[in-house]
A = this chain, B = another copy of it.
Amino acid sequence: MSLNTFGHLFRVTTWGESHGPAIGCTVDGCPPGITLSEADLQPWLDRRKPGQNKFTTQRKEPDEVRILSGIYEGVTTGTPLQLMIENTDQRSKDYGDIAASFRPGHADITYHQKYGVRDPRGGGRSSARETASRVAAGGVARKVLAAMLPDLAISGYMVQMGPRGIDRARFDASTIDDNPFWCPDPIAAAEWAEYLDALRLAHNSVGAVIEVCANGVPAGLGAPLYGKLDSDLAAAMMSINAVKAVEIGDGMAAASLTGVENADEIRMGPEGPVFLSNHAGGILGGISSGQPVVVRIGVKPTSSILTPRQTIRVNGEEIDLITKGRHDPCVGIRAVPVAEAMMACVLLDHLLLDRGQTGGVRGIIGQA
């Protein structure tokens, strides 16, 4: 991974600022012959789109993606796809007073320190708006994965808002789309709605924990030692705005386990090895085991809030800053489709990488 590109064979290069004319990405290395149109990508973008309820920024963007290259007569040609999304609701005046000061907890100051210049309009390049490009790229990855691995299913959801976690006993995947939080626990979802509304009205924001689970990942994906599947997932997830932690399987909780507890014991099933537990989150030694791949990310609270915070201006003046504008009270909500997209891109990348090196042949377990 380097600069604004991620991936080895399925490579995504994103570009664009929050308030420029457009954002987008180049998707390179896509297999040819895959049926693909804007209609395949738009639903994923719509899931991420802001302004859909009071819990996300009220910025209104149609977020319509256009495919400018790489398609002929409805199928991918193996050449780069350019996915472009125009910025239509820019209201740069909202951000006028931001240009000369640094929001605490925001990338304003570090972009200034590194580059000496930054685009302050809507956070410029550091805006979460960039993640729309990832979601578009993830839509391409999903389409290819559907053709290559029909049984693969990627599902993201929120498991904690602020300090309030879901009750795993109430986990019901069918309810994830029924609430604005992608919450699999309807009772938690109802509580979160009240909680977040109060925070929002108090001019505050809050963090969240997101989990993404991929079922149907074949064994053998991952290129140890520095292209390990978990290593690439960690980089991909950590690159999402506001993410401060990445866990695989039991994650930090694995530190508290003994070796006896942590061992995912193995039995032989009719179609191959069957694991009796999944502490490992589907990855051993950087390679997928055939179990569900489970990743969790910790998302910090939105730093742009209406409560005054102490900070400084570029000229060194000390001020108390209130960040006006239309910000998400819980940016973790929109991180769900983004994290799903990153999972899709990383899995496809490794599927291609593995096919390149091994031809996709698998070691036999049981009788030859």
**Chain A, 106-145, contact with B by CB distance < 8 Å: what is the 0/1 string?**
1101111111111111001110001000000000000000
A220-B28 in contact (CB<8A):
no
Query: Which of A41-49, A51-59, A184-192, A260-268 has 4 or more CB atoms under 8 Å from chain B?
Result: A260-268
Query: Which of A149-157, A166-174, A175-183, A301-309 has 4 or more CB atoms under 8 Å from chain B?
Result: A301-309
Q: Is A246 an interface residue (CB 8 A)?
A: yes
In the complex this chain forms, how many copies of it are found? 4
Chain B residue with Cβ nearest A352: B356
Q: Is A216 an interface residue (CB 8 A)?
A: no
B residues in contact with A215, CB < 8 Å:
none
A248-B251 in contact (CB<8A):
no
Q: Is A336 an interface residue (CB 8 A)?
A: no
B232-A265 in contact (CB<8A):
no
Query: Closest CB of chain B to A235's CB: distance in Å?
Result: 4
Tell which of B23, B280, B314 touches A69, judged by Cβ atoms closer than 8 Å: B23
Q: Is A193 an interface residue (CB 8 A)?
A: no
Q: Tell me the A201-250 residues at the B interface (CB within 8 Å).
A: 204-209, 219-228, 230-239, 241, 244-250
**Given contacts A9-B353, A115-B78, is CB(A252)–CB(B255) below 8 Å?**
no
**Chain A, 1-16, contact with B by CB distance < 8 Å: what is the 0/1 string?**
1111110110101111
Q: Is A50 an interface residue (CB 8 A)?
A: no
A222-B301 in contact (CB<8A):
no
Chain B residue with Cβ nearest A104: B263
**Given contacts A262-B301, A301-B262, is CB(A32)–CB(B358) below 8 Å?**
yes
Q: Is A354 an interface residue (CB 8 A)?
A: yes
B residues in contact with A273, CB < 8 Å:
102, 109, 312
A219-B113 in contact (CB<8A):
yes
Smallest CB-CB A-B distances: 3 pairs: A107-B285, A356-B356, A316-B366
Q: Is A75 an interface residue (CB 8 A)?
A: yes
B residues in contact with A235, CB < 8 Å:
1, 226, 231-232, 234-235, 238
Q: Is A292 an interface residue (CB 8 A)?
A: no
B8-A252 in contact (CB<8A):
no
Query: Closest CB of chain B to A332's CB: distance in Å?
Result: 7
A117-B77 in contact (CB<8A):
yes
**Given contacts A238-B246, A307-B260, A358-B31, is CB(A298)–CB(B252) below 8 Å?**
yes
B33-A116 in contact (CB<8A):
yes
A318-B109 in contact (CB<8A):
no
